[in-house]
Amino acid sequence: MILESELLAAYPAEVNVPAELVSAKVAASNRVLIVLDDDPTGTQSVAGLPVLTRWDVADFDWVFGHRIDGALAKAVYVLTNTRSLDPAEAQARNQEIVVNALTSARAAGISVGFVSRSDSTLRGHFPLEPDTIAATLSAENAGSVDGVVIVPAFPDAGRITIGGVHYTRGEHGSLIPVADTEFAKDASFGFSHSSLADYVEEKSHGRIPAARVITLDLPLIRRGTPEAGAMAIADALDPATESTPIVVDAVTENDLRVLALGLEESERRGKSFIYRVGPPFVRARIGQEIHAPLATEEIFHANRTVPAGSARGGLIVVGSHVGVTTRQLKALTEEHGSARIVEIDVEKLLSDDGASHVSDVVRDIARALATGDVIVHTSRLLIKSDDAAASLKIARTVSAAVVDVVNQTLKSTPPRFVIAKGGITSSDVAAHGLEIRHAIVRGPMLPGIVSLWEPVDGPAAGIPYIVFAGNVGDDQSLAAVTRKLSDTF
């Protein structure tokens, strides 16, 4: 067993870095980070930032013309949902978003940087997505990329990197190398290395050897003062050129803030980076404070627009199949005795009567929402194929059915709130089920995880929407979030 305390004993203590120290540096740059989020769960670490589920030039125009609390946002999240796409589709989508963002930013006179936000357990289109962003920037005469900064760490959810090795926290202070977890066996994005340098070599099929990777380790980052760490990081990044991969140790928010200062200094020296990161990086990079979990009165504030004909009950949609989600679903159904439970049968969806099954599900949900909450979930038997493309096709069929269920329910009986559990599920529910185009992230529902969006337009405007990643929280987390939102729990 690897114990976190024993492993960290060999390293320097973290260096305290106030968020305002970073935000003061960032304020002078007049730059907006465009976060291409391959599912919507990247927003769970931030607050007060805009989200787009469409990426026309006009959508970026809205972002650059919008002010939140009187200021232009330092970052905007764009839901690419590329984790549900095949490589060619993911590449095309990344390219389109970068081109449109650049077009709008140039017209607005705003400088932009690009973040490729992905999974803290290393699942996703890598190195395809940062490669595509870099190639598109070059084609659009928007500069070359010196380095790709790889920071999957998500301490709030128990993902940390020490000595260049990525871990997930287990029980009793233990650390599990991420390649030894269920996430590494993902049908579409599986991998075999926990060392990030070796992961880069593996996922690039040897094109990028591990020896080419720059590692920013804890002794480099924890140099005694924020300024010392920042300068050491910038010095270490001076040799980066032509998209050199850069992997980063991070155990705490302070480590990420020192990294932010070092990147700011390196970019001041003329270096250019793309970031491939987990959720909390953007928060640290722009110097945003960690937002406290939202209280019920903040969620259902007095000036909220409530759709006509709204139901008493909320809708909890569970699509993820990872183990923690199944345990969370079990806890919720056992504790929320008044909730109606409706199952979407995946085998029926894949058969000829899929459409009629969706209609039956919607009818059951609409009836139950009149009196209380409804928990709708896909059957827990995961149907997949040994072929990655076939697995994605099955996932899309199931996701399309979930979207239909939510959209038909929204049109007939708008729920009091909507929770979507699972990355692809929450993206599809947002963009297509609830028809959200623009939203504002208001903050987390639990410490550091699970974000609440406020849709600002479309039929779901005014309905609190909770984006809940499949792989975060403990067994009671889904019940805890539902209890905060529900008046029948």
- Terminal C-alpha separation, the chain: 40
- Least confident stretch, 16-20, 307-311, 453-457: 307-311
User: Does the structure show a pLDDT above 60 at 380?
Assistant: no
Please, are residues 124 and 279 in contact by the beta-carbon 8 Å criterion? no
Rounded mean pLDDT of 218-222?
98
Three-state DSSP state, 373:
coil
Q: For the chain, what's the residue count? A: 489
Signed CA dihedral, 447, 449, 450, 455: sign only: positive
CA distance 373 to 396: 26
List pLDDT tens digits, range 153-163: 999 999 999 99
- In the prediction, which pLDDT does 385 show? 59
Look up the CATH number of domain 298-485: 3.40.980.20
Rounded mean pLDDT of 320-338?
91
List pLDDT tens digits, range 124-150: 999 999 999 999 999 999 999 999 999
Assign domain 2-285 to its CATH superfamily: Putative sugar-binding, N-terminal domain (3.40.50.10840)
Question: Percentage of the chain surpassing pLDDT 70?
Answer: 97
Three-state DSSP state, 35:
strand
Report H helices in 191-322.
196-203, 218-221, 226-237, 253-268, 280-285, 296-299
- In the prediction, which pLDDT does 305 show? 73
- In the prediction, which pLDDT does 182 show? 92
The DSSP result for 74-139, as a single string, is SEEEEE--GGGS-HHHHHHHHHHHHHHHHHHHHHHT-EEEEEEE--TTS-S-TTHHHHHHHHHHHH
Sheet holding 159-162, edge to edge: 2-3, 174-177, 165-169, 159-162
- In the prediction, which pLDDT does 302 show? 64
- In the prediction, which pLDDT does 311 show? 77
- In the prediction, which pLDDT does 355 show? 78
- In the prediction, which pLDDT does 308 show? 67
Rounded mean pLDDT of 321-335?
91
Q: Where are the domains of the chain?
A: 2-285, 298-485
Neighbours of 393 (CB within 10 A): 13
User: Does the structure show a pLDDT above 70 at 381?
Assistant: no
Report which of 193, 188, 190 is spatially closest to residue 177, judged by C-alpha positions. 193
Average pLDDT, the chain: 93
List pLDDT tens digits, range 275-290: 999 999 999 999 999 9
The residues pairing with 75 across neighbouring beta strands, listed in sequence order, are 33
List pLDDT tens digits, range 471-480: 889 999 999 9
Give the residue with greater pLDDT, 198 vs 412: 198
- In the prediction, which pLDDT does 384 show? 59
Question: Percentage of the chain surpassing pLDDT 90?
Answer: 80
Instruction: Take residue 212 and report the two structure tokens written for it.
Output: 């080419």
- In the prediction, which pLDDT does 382 show? 59
List pLDDT tens digits, range 66-114: 999 899 999 999 999 899 899 999 999 999 999 999 999 999 999 999 9
User: Does the structure show a pLDDT above 90 at 238?
Assistant: yes
Q: Phi and psi dihedrals of 434, rounded to 5? A: -100, -5
- In the prediction, which pLDDT does 392 show? 67
Three-state DSSP state, 483:
helix
The residues pairing with 33 across neighbouring beta strands, listed in sequence order, are 75, 113
Output DSSP code: residue 293: P
- Least confident stretch, 24-28, 61-65, 245-249, 293-297: 24-28
